[in-house]
Amino acid sequence: MSHPMMCTTTMPNMESAKKMALELVENRFAACVQLMPINSVYRWKGKIEDESEVLLICKAPSYHHEALEKAILERHPYELPEILFFNGVGAFAPYFEWMENCVTNKEV
């Protein structure tokens, strides 16, 4: 049985984030992608980095995670992109039906 899923990734700026979001939704890898400006502090190649980024929260049915991961990797500019999956335990039934319809080529 499928469950709702959220996947997060980050992009370097709003322009690249919007492009990624549009491509994921247009190509039915995600039903919805939310964009939020954030600040990230992390260790990379021996240095502490402090960067502005845009967080993408992608929503799709859990059975769609491999296709979504592949689509993000094919489009991502980072050497090592964040791609984290969070499986939900449930969702409002009409919302989940809409989500499934969005990624299975049914008209919504």
Beta carbons within 8 Å of 72's beta carbon, 6+ residues apart: 7, 9, 20, 24, 29, 58, 81, 83
Q: What's 96's domain CATH number? A: 3.30.70.120
- The pLDDT-based confidence of 108 (bands split at 50, 70, 90) is low
67 within a domain of the structure (yes/no): yes
108 within a domain of the structure (yes/no): no
Determine the structural domain holding residue 30 and report its residue range. Answer: 4-103
**What's the pLDDT score for residue 105?**
80
Q: How many residues does the chain have?
A: 108
pLDDT > 70? residue 1: no
Strand order in the sheet with 84-87: 32-44, 47-61, 4-11, 84-87
**The total number of structural domains that make up the chain:** 1
Average pLDDT of the residues of the chain: 95
Q: Please state the pTM of the whole predicted model.
A: 0.93
